[in-house]
Amino acid sequence: MDVKTKTMGTVSVDEKQIINFPNGLYGFEEFHRYAIIEAEYQPFYWLQSLDESGLAFIIVDPFLIINDYELDIDDKTLSEIGIDSPGDVILFAIITVPADGQPITANLQGPVVINRKNNTALQVILSDSKWTTKHNIIKALKSKGTK
């Protein structure tokens, strides 16, 4: 399937790359279908809306940023997207790259949870105050000993 993207023109995506968000993302509830597309710079990906070409988010595996990242999501919430076991889960954090030169941050409080078996996803809000919506990526990587 050809997808018109925000930053890469038109790209071809496989059906396996298409993710359905029954409830949308917070603030973008009306958009339900997205494709996960590799970004030019690894380990980042684009979460590109299939409904609005101008809507895309940079995402990353949160465990690459912080080793002790943990989520406490109740089984009822996970069952909304058909997750039966932890092995069904793929996690991503949405990245913010401010235009004003402020630090690049990851939203660790509102991760994207994907069921790898059925490509259905949701964004959850974690109640643990340890995680924020503006977790400084560079600072976190330096504290891990990575540059």
Do 90 and 98 touch, CB atoms closer than 8 A?
no
- Point out the residues of the chain with pLDDT beneath 50: 147
pLDDT score recorded for residue 7: 87
pLDDT score recorded for residue 147: 46
pTM of model > 0.85: yes
pLDDT score recorded for residue 139: 85
pLDDT score recorded for residue 145: 65
Angle at 143 between CA 60 and CA 46, to 5 degrees: 10
pLDDT score recorded for residue 141: 79
